[in-house]
Amino acid sequence: MKSIILILLTSFSTFCSYAQSPRIFNSQLESVTVYSLGAELNHKAKVSLPAGTSEIVLANVANTVDESSIQISVPSNVTILSTSFSRDFLKNENKSPAYIKVEDSLQFIKRELNKLENKRVVEENLLVLLDKNQAIGGSNTGVNVAELMKVADYYKNKQLELRNNIFNLKEAEALQQKRIARMQRQLQELSLDKSGTSGQIILQLMASTATNADLSVSYLTPSAAWIAFYDLRAENTTTPLKIVYKANVTQSTGLDWKKVRLSLSTGNPSQNGTAPLLSAWFLQFGEPEYAYRNKKLVYQNRIQSMAMPAPEVKEEVLSLMAKKSNGLAVQQNENMLNAIFDIEIPYDIASNSKPHSVILKEFSQPAAFKYYSVPKMDGDAFLMAEITNYDKLNLLPGEANIIFENSYVGKSFINPNATTDTLNLSMGRDKKITIKREKIAEQTGVKFIGNSKKQTFTYEIRLRNGKKEAVDLLLKDQYPVSTDKDMEVELLNAGGASVNKETGVLTWKLKLKPGATENIRISYSVKYPKDKNILNLQ
C-alpha cells in the first residue's frame, strides 16, 4: 500500500511540475552580424534550472526568426529536448512608447473636437429656434412701439451672440482638425518603429542536477539589412581620390540594439547555397504544342527533383587583415565567400526601419582623372576617375556623394561588378568646361539626284577650358550607320577623330590648355530613294 501511495505521489509531483507555467528569463543582446539581407543576432542569458525536465522561455528576442537557424549553447550537464519560437503577444503589438504617447494625445484631441462640435450644433439649433419664433403677440393684438423696440433689440443681440459663438466654434474645430492631421502623420511615421513587438524562444531542457546555467543563443532574422554608399572626395585632378566607405543599416526586429558589437557582412544567408547539378539531356520527337509544353514542365520538375545538395562547406577564414585607417576602429575579415567588417565601437540602432549611417573604411586611392563629354546627348563635361586594382577594395554597388574642390557637386553610382580591369567613377559635371554643339545651316541641306535624295549634315563643336590648369578630354560624337542597301552613308569630315565604322562613333582625345578654345567640325551625308523617309535622321 505504501509503495502505491509513493508511486501516486511521485506521479502527482511530476504532473504538477509539467503543469506549472514555464519560467521566463530575459536574454541580453550581445552582438549582431548584419547581411545584405537579414541578420544574425547573438544573445546571452542566465537561467536557473531544477534537476530533471523543465520548460523555460527566453524573452527579448527578435519578432521574426528563422526557426531552423536557432542555435543554443548549454553546459555539459544540460540537454536540449526541444526548441520553438513564438511572438510575445503580451506586449502592445507594433506600438512603441512614443507611438502610445502620441496615440493617447490623439484620442484626447478627438474628444475635445467632439465637444466643440456638440456645442456648435446646440448653438445652431438655438438660432433656428429663434428664427422660427419671431412673431410678436397674436394676430389680433397690437404691439406698441416700446415693446417692439425691446423685442427687436433682444433678437438682434441674441442672434449676434449665437452667430459669433458658432463662428468661434468652427475656428476651434478647424484648429483641432489640423492638430489631428499632424498627429496622424506622426503616428504613420512611428508605426515603422517595431520596438514594441518582440519574440520569445521556448526551450524544453533536462538537467542532471540543479544548476545555474549561462546560455548562448543565436538565430537569423530577415528584419534587418544594409546597403553601401560612399563619399568620393578630390581636391583637384592631381591628388589621390579619397573614398569613404559607408553603410546604411536598417532594422525592424522589435528590439532596439543598444551598445551592441556590430559586424557587417557582404554575404547573404537567405540565398540558396545549393550548387546545381546537370542530368542527362534526352531528346525526343515533338508532339502537339500544348502536350509538349506540359511535358517540358514535367521534365523540368524532374530535373529539379534530381538535383542533390552539395556537401556542406564551412567558411574557413583564410586571412585576417586588421585595419585602423584614419582612426576608424574597423576590422576587416576576408574569407572564401565574403568580406566582414567588424565595428569595434558599440552602436545603438533603433528598431524603426530608418537608415543608420556607419563608417566602414576611409582610404586614398591613386586615380587617373580625365574629362568625358558626349555633347550630342549632354552639353556638360563629366570628370571621370579611373581606378585600377579595385577588386581589393571589396566595394559593393551603391550611391556616392561627390565632393570636388571642396564643393558638393552631386551624386553618382559605383558599380564594382564591371568585367574590366579599370573602374570608372563619375565625379560629376564641371561647369568650367563649356561645350556647345550646333548645326551649321549653310552647310546642311538636301539635294535631289535622279530618283534619290541626298541630305548633308554639318555640325560644329566648340570647346573652352575655363580652368586654371590643362585638362584631358575624351570627346565622343557619331554619324549614322546604314541598315539597308538603299541607304548610302558617307562620312565627309571626321574632324580629326578616330572612327569606328561599325558603330559610327567618333572619338577625340584632346588636351585643352588653361583658357584655351577649340572648334571641331564633322560632316556626313545620307543618300536614299526620294520616295522614302528616314524618321530618325538628323
pLDDT in tens, 379-416: 899 988 888 888 777 788 889 998 888 888 888 888 88
Q: What is the pLDDT of residue 486?
A: 85
Q: What is the pLDDT of residue 412?
A: 85
pLDDT of 224 higher than 90 = yes
**CB-CB neighbours of 478 under 10 Å:** 18
Q: Where are the domains of the chain?
A: 97-136+147-190, 366-395+422-538
CA angle in degrees (0–180, nearest 5) for 440-444-447 = 170
Q: What is the pLDDT of residue 391?
A: 77
The pLDDT of 342-347, averaged and rounded, is 88
In the DSSP assignment, the letter for residue 22 is P
Its pTM stands at 0.59
Q: What is the pLDDT of residue 202?
A: 93
Q: What is the pLDDT of residue 51?
A: 93
The pLDDT of 190-215, averaged and rounded, is 82
Grid coordinates of 257: 540594439
For residue range 487-521, what is the model confidence (pLDDT) as tens digits?
888 999 999 999 999 999 999 999 999 999 999 99
For residue range 3-58, what is the model confidence (pLDDT) as tens digits?
444 444 444 444 444 445 789 999 999 999 999 999 999 999 999 999 999 999 99
Return d(Cα 186, Cα 412) in angstroms, integer.
Answer: 32
Q: What is the pLDDT of residue 317?
A: 28
Mean pLDDT, the chain, whole residue set = 80
Residue whose C-alpha is closest to residue 430's, from 466, 376, 468, 482 = 466
Local confidence band at 168 (pLDDT 50, 70, 90 cut-offs): confident
Number of helices (H), then strands (E), belonging to the chain: the values are 4, 27
Helix axes 145-190, 97-132, angle to 10 degrees: 160
User: pLDDT exceeding 70 applies to what percent of the chain?
Assistant: 79
At 115, which helix (H) or strand (E)?
helix 97-132
Q: Which is more confident, 474 or 288?
A: 474
Beta bridge partners of 342: 263, 331
Q: What is the pLDDT of residue 303?
A: 32
Grid cell 564594382 is found at 416
pLDDT of 369 higher than 50 = yes
pLDDT of 65 higher than 80 = yes
Residue whose C-alpha is closest to residue 156's, from 136, 124, 141, 134 = 134
Pairing of strands 257-265, 28-34: parallel
Q: How far is CA 370 from the centre of its chain?
A: 32
